[in-house]
Amino acid sequence: MTTRNNINLDKIIQAAAEIIDVHGLENLTLSNLSQKLKIRSPSLYNHIKGLQDIRRLLSLHGLKQLLSVLTRAAVGRSSDEAMREMAKAYLRFARKHPGLYEVTHMAPSHSDHDLYKTGQEIVDLVTQVLEAYQMEPTDTIHIARAFRSQLHGFASLEQRRGFGMSVDLDDSFMHMIDTLLAGLHVRYPKDGQRPSAQFQTGQS
């Protein structure tokens, strides 16, 4: 199965990921991608269905990396600590791979099962961590959505330079997460877990 130029799907995705992380998603073209791989652009069609297909594959690639990063942040931790570490890992990923992060949030092409499945695995991970708070299933979904909204909103606004520069961004991020956790504790108080002493800020 090895071929003339040693090009395979993995190398294409790798090269495309580099392009979008450095130059942005809108600057990924079959032209510069094929140049990077030292082939002519129509040759790419032997491996992929077209530009949309590459974007889809990148999206899946990014989601899987994000899932991995979040999972590693959550293992061996629980409750607030797990939430905070997942949040930090999420933002770290978005900052380190801006293009990959951006492509991850493309509207999935409806019946793309792989993409749906991986997205669901991330939701399941968050849901699992939230089980520690012993809410109703519906509330768990509410909070998971709120958590994702905060993370994505912050990462996205930061990436698009939507925030001013007056106040440290890491401080704001941890403050946001801690405020969510504070709200969680008020609304779902468990015995032995009073709403206090979760107000330290500062990020790694």
Partner DNA sequence: TTGATATAACTAATATTATTAGTTAAAATG
Partner DNA sequence: CATTTTAACTAATAATATTAGTTATATCAA
Closer residue to a second copy, CB minimum distance, 42 or 164: 164
How far does the chain reach from its first CA to its final CA, in angstroms?
A: 45
Asked if residue 84 binds a second copy (CB under 8 A), the reply is: no
- When asked if residue 3 is in the footprint of DNA (CB under 7 A), the reply is yes
Q: What share of the chain is helix, strand, coil (3-state, %, to 5)?
A: 70, 0, 30
Cα(159)–Cα(173) distance, rounded to whole angstroms? 13
- The DSSP call for residue 193 is B
Radius of gyration of the chain (CA): 20
Q: What is the DSSP letter of 41?
A: G
Site string for a second copy, 85-104 (x = CB under 8 A): --------------------
The one of DNA, a second copy, none whose footprint includes residue 50, by CB under 5 to 8 A per kind, is DNA
Which 106-125 residues touch a second copy, going by CB under 8 A? 106-108, 119-120, 123
Q: How many residues bind a second copy (CB under 8 A)?
A: 47
Counting every residue written for the chain, the total comes to 204
Residues 169, 86, 23: CA angle, nearest 5 degrees: 60
Question: Could you say which of 2, 138, 200, 204 contacts a second copy (CB under 8 A)?
Answer: 138
- Which of 64, 71, 139, 203 is close enough to bind a second copy by CB under 8 A? 139
Q: 183 by DSSP, 3-state: which?
A: helix
**Binding of residue 50 to DNA (CB under 7 A):** yes
DSSP tally for the chain: helices H, then strands E = 8, 0
State the binding partner of 162 from DNA, a second copy, none, CB within 5 to 8 A by kind. Answer: a second copy
Q: What is the largest CA-CA distance in the chain?
A: 65
Rounded least distance, CB 79 to a second copy, Å: 16
Residue from 22, 23, 24, 45 binding DNA (CB under 7 A)? 45
**Distances in whole angstroms, Cα of residue 71 to Cα of each of 31, 58, 87, 122:** 36, 20, 11, 8
Q: Smallest gap, in angstroms, from Cβ of residue 176 to a second copy? A: 4
- Does position 30 bind DNA by CB under 7 A? yes
User: Which residues are near a second copy by CB under 8 A?
Assistant: 105-108, 119-120, 123, 138-139, 141-143, 145-146, 148-154, 156-157, 159-164, 166-167, 171-172, 175-176, 178-187, 195, 199
